[in-house]
Structures are given as C-alpha cells and as structure tokens.
Structure 1
Amino acid sequence: MAVERLLPTDEARDLIQLARDIADKVLAPIVDEHEKAQTYPEGVFARLGEAGLLSLPYPEEWGGGGQPYEVYLQVLEELAARWAAVAVAVSVHSLSCHPLLAFGTEEQKQRWLPEMLGGNTIGAYSLSEPQAGSDAAAVACKANPVEGGYRINGTKAWITHGGVADFYNVFARTGAGSRGISCFLVPKDLDGLSFGKPEEKMGLHAVPTTTAHYDHAMVSEDRRLGSEGQGLQIALSALDAGRLGIAAVATGLAQAALDEAVAYAKERTTFGKKIIDHQGLGFLLADMAAAVDSARATYLDAARRRDAGLSYSRQASVAKLVATDAAMKVTTDAVQVFGGSGYTRDFRVERYMREAKITQIFEGTNQIQRLVISRSLAK
C-alpha cells in the first residue's frame, strides 16, 4: 500500500514517486532471489546512483540532491519497504560521505566528493572493532605516523558493504585516550588491506558484512580527514543522522510487514469469514498500523528539527528506539497473522522478522539509545 505522504514541495513529491517506481521495477522483482541465494545485486546501486538517490541530503554544489532530511528519509523508507538490505547500504553510504563534507579541506572535497555523491562510488563506515562497538573510544586499530603518511595496523569489524565498497571511512588510533583517534578516507585497493569472509547473518543477506584487516597499510597524509586526534568527534557527529537513517529503514520494513499481513488477512477465511473481520485479529492489525504510524512520526519530527538547524540528538535516539522496536514487534505480529504459513519461507514475513532484529542493534544498540535519552533528560 502506497503511504500518503505530506511533502514540502512538488519536487519532493516527484522524488518520492521516482523512488517508488525504481523500488517497484528494479528492487521488488529480484529481492527474494538475491536474499535466498545470498548473492550481491550487481548494478542495483549504480542504478540508484544514476537516479540521484545516493546523495539526496547533500549540497547540489558538490553533486548532491540538495533535499531536506525529511525527504531523504522518506525515500529511504520507500526503498526499505521493498529491500531492507539495499536501504541499509544506501544509509551507510550517506553516512560515509559525511566526514569528507563536514571535515575535509576544500582540496579534499573537490578531489573526492563529486565522485562519491554522483553515484559512481559506494562508501562504507569502519568504526567498530571486535572489542569496540558501542564504546567507540576503545578503538585499538593503529595508524602510526611515518614519512608521507601513516601505517595502519589492526582489524575493523561489522562493515556493511565490506569488500565491495569503493572507499572506507577508517577510524584508527594515532595517540592515547579518546582524543587519540583520527579519521582516514581509504580506497578499496590499498596495499595491505584485506577482508574476511562475509558474516553469516540472520538477515540482510544480499549485501555483505565483513571484517577488514590492515597489515602495514600505507595511507598518504592527504587522506586524513580533519586534524589528528579529531576522529572521535567526526565519528560521533554523523551518528545522529545515521540513527535517523536506520529509523527510516525500520519503518519501511514494518510497513512492508503490515501490508503483507493486511493483504493475507483479507484473503484468508476461517469460520465463514475473512480473518480480518475477526475482532481479535483486526485489533492486532490496528496495533501494528499504530506502531508504524508512530515510528514514522518520530523520525520525521527529528528530521524536521535537523532541517531547521535545531538540536536533534535526543530526538534521533527516540526515533531509532521507537522505530526499530516497532519493526521488531510488527514483523513478529505479521508472522502471527500468517499462522503456520508465516513460519515458512514461502512468505516474506519470516524474512522481515529476521531483518528487523538487526535494526535494534546497529548504529548504537537500543540500550545505548536509552542511555542517550536519559542523559539528555538529566541535563
């Protein structure tokens, strides 16, 4: 079911329609095949790039779409309603362009940003490590200064698009403490960079998640973004926006599960009537719809605050928390609506349920979101 959206401009309405058309014609016909076979969808991201959907919230002067965040997130939701793995990768790409735009020099931006925003290259974010997830200050991967640049040694983990992306934001230690981390823009073909085998995940099978291993990998000094020791600030500056991306993806996933459940409930008959007409099941669907609408409202509220230049860190955490918990509940309930059939792979709802779980974990677990919210209240 197409969501009726309140959009600020005719251009935004056209953009949403474009996203829907591409999602329906390019993503929906092949998603089941690639998710079941766990194969990468070659050409899909190039198609999204050609349509301008990989750079929507970035300035037009650098090749971006110049769109408000509330519009970009609704496009992301549309993509997620057809293919969550692709939508997550689009969100991560947008996140990975932020450090260069916000902290790069004019020379660095002119050199790399148009290519990144033009859809010709896909980016990945390398902050987490095997022993450093939510505790970003615990990064152990080292970048030792040498003549002409840095030698990087260490392992990064949980990299969406790992081994496939064209560039990586790598956060590595150049000194002691939380102020001893720096950010580097690393190309995929760097000598000394290798990737582990893709993780065997519950869901999001079509886009790989891997570790990255740096073995005396030489990075030139002009690939450091920001000043030495500014890495943690750079990493944290992008997290609020990244959390909104995941909130939008989770909302799209929940909407897809709701749509499937409603369609099934209108067809399936028990005791002489369609199951949607049984009050117990009708109320379950009503609660699912309320959860989806609430999730959408929370991420749009945070996005509009961002667009207005207001503080939105707490609202981003609220949106991520509400939307991803809603996705887990709605997808679980969708399986229930389908009964025994929902537990089989003949229907998409079991996949939606598996995919929803990770949204409660990445871009900061929902326990971390509660910590952010409670600390905001304490201030």
Structure 2
Amino acid sequence: MAKNGKFNPFPDPKKGVRRMIQKKPSCKKSTSWMKIPYVKDNTKGGYVRKEQTKWRRCIQELLHATDREILQILIQDGLLPDRKGSVCPHCQAGTLSALTTNGRDDILRYRCSRKGCQRYFLPQHLHPIYTATKGPEGHALQVQAAALLLRLLNTSSIHILTHINHKALEKMSRNLMITRKGYVQQEEKKIKFGGCPRAWKEVEADEEDKEDDGKPALWEQWGAIIQRGNPKTLVLTKLNPAMTVPRAPGPGAIRKADWKPLATRLLKNRQVILHTDSARSYRMKLPGVVHDAVVHKKRKVKKNNKWMWLKPTFVRISKHKLPDGRKISCKAGAQIVDRAWKFIKERLSRNQHVKASSLMLTAQIRSAQYEYWHRFLVSQYMKGFLTPP
C-alpha cells in the first residue's frame, strides 16, 4: 500500500541499487568535517587492487622448471643465496665453485676449492626454509617453491594440492615465521616516529589481548603504535598484564608501568599528535607529544528529564594548540591501529591449547606484522615471494 492508502502496483524497492538511491542519509557531515582528512601524510604509490594483483612467479612456472632453472629463479628472486666465490662453510678457508655435478648424478652442487676439503654443498645448505632431507618429508626444490608460494597466499589444505607431507609443511611454516620474526625485531629498532621539528605527525596507539586457560587466568597482551599514512611504522611490544579470575572479560587497558617506558623510548620529543582511546595510562604528559582521545563506550545521559543512550565516539574533530603557538585541527580516533589489529588477528591460527607467552604465538604475531608492513609495497612483496631478511 502507498502512503495515501491506495494500492501501489510499483512498491518501493527494499534492496538493490534503487533502494540505495532512495535511501536518505541518517546524517549529513559538515563542511569542516569533510575538509579535514583522516590521514594527512599518506605514502604515495604502491597501492593495487586485489583482483588486479599479479605476482612475478606462478605455480606452473615453478613446477615445470628444471633443476638448473629453479635454482636460477630462486637466486634471482633472492630466496637462495648465490654462493659462488664465497668461503667454504666447512673449512673456512677455500672458496666455492659454480654449480656443478660430481659425475655420479645430475644434482647441482657447490664444491670447495681447497685441496684438503673438496666438499660438495647443496644450494639449500643451511637454508631456513628449503630443506634437502630424505624420506616422506623430502621433496624436490620445485615442489617446495610451489608450496611456499601457496603458503604466502594463505592457502589452506596445501597438503591436498601438492601431496606434501603435513610435517614438512608445518616445518616450512614454522621456519618462515621464525625468519620473519628475526627480521622484524631487527627492523623495529630503526623505526622513528615524527619528522622535522615543525612537521607534527599523527600517531595512533592501542593494545590487544588474548586469554589463556588457567586459574588464575593469564593474558597475552600486546601494545601497538603506528604513524598514520605509513604502515611500515607499526611497532608491537609485548606487555605484562595483571592476572585475573578465570571469568574476567579481560586484563584491562594498558598499565602505566608498561606505557611509560614504551612512550618515552618511541614518542618523547618526537613532535607527534597521539590518538588513543580513553584509557587512563595514555594521559601521561610527555614533552613533544600532544594527546587526544575518543570514548569507545556508549553513555547514558539525562536530557529533558529523560534518560537516553549516546552512541560511542570513534572519530571526532579535535583542535590543538602546539607549543610553538600554532593551531592545528585533526580527526581524533584509532581507526588505523584497530584495522592493523584486525589484520594481525586474521592471520593467527589458535586453538584451545594455545598458552600465553608461547614462542609460537609470538612468531605468528611477528609474521603477521611483517605481512602488514609489506601489504601495499608492490616492488617488494607482491612481485616476489618475500623480502629476503
């Protein structure tokens, strides 16, 4: 029926494009809101659409390559080192020759030139990911390269697609995460927030936690700091939360004992605007840091003698007066760091047996951090397997 009570043979659509066109917006943003961007300093270039993404290698090329071709591919992509001319890892005196065979088989190896050594070494000797084992866990280098390609695409059931032993895949995945963990921990030391003295940068901070089964309950809590517009500045730090009763909803926000050394080391005198939630620990005063917060909680207020609920605030316009007298307007919120945590948690494989402070959980978090760093860098991540550590 129409609004006037008469029959309408063409009723208003309830879904689809027509409904979207007829639907009125619940509220209109002001002009001042539209003029202030959420991310002011955005890194240019490197962004691609997922449906248009193309990697340098495909699975057909890897599986159809010969033994010499697969070595050339992996050396060219930086996944295998070219040991020609390097020092022999056994005698530490001779030099390794080019890839050659020993005359008894067609396997390519490096050979030491020292007269008293003359040892042969496979190209994947002491490699953190590729192996040269025998038995059910031993596979050709072509198959291992294809499995690594599927693993980097977060493909499930790789053992069904490639008929590789599941223990070999678990070992490859574990070694990959441990390698990324070491690389991330070294690169984090080089990250610096802020910029030149008059160019104030916007930084977001937040924490995330995971419960461990136990009495009392232990918690795995991590703190994150990231500069807006630069994904590679994501810094993760393991915190030390308090133990709680088993049915507690969480360990609470980050404590001042954890936040003070972290903020002093990364943000002090860096000329940054810090955006966080309304946790009390973030209110700590630091030189060179201007702070604002949003309340991620609905509130009950009394208006016109009636109690009503106010929706939580996720983004709002905030105005600051800098120490040099300038005034700046920005959007307060923690949307970037929240999306970073969502990205990381999607890549964690956990079950009911995962314990807090486990080495494997730490490696998974660091591996997801590595993927977040390189998710938009086409030259380093999309066109190859992974950036060599």
TM-score interval, smaller chain? under 0.3
Pick the structure with greater CA Rg: 2
Provide the TM-score with structure 1 as the length reference.
Answer: 0.24
Instruction: From the two aligned structures, give the one with the greater helix fraction.
Output: 1
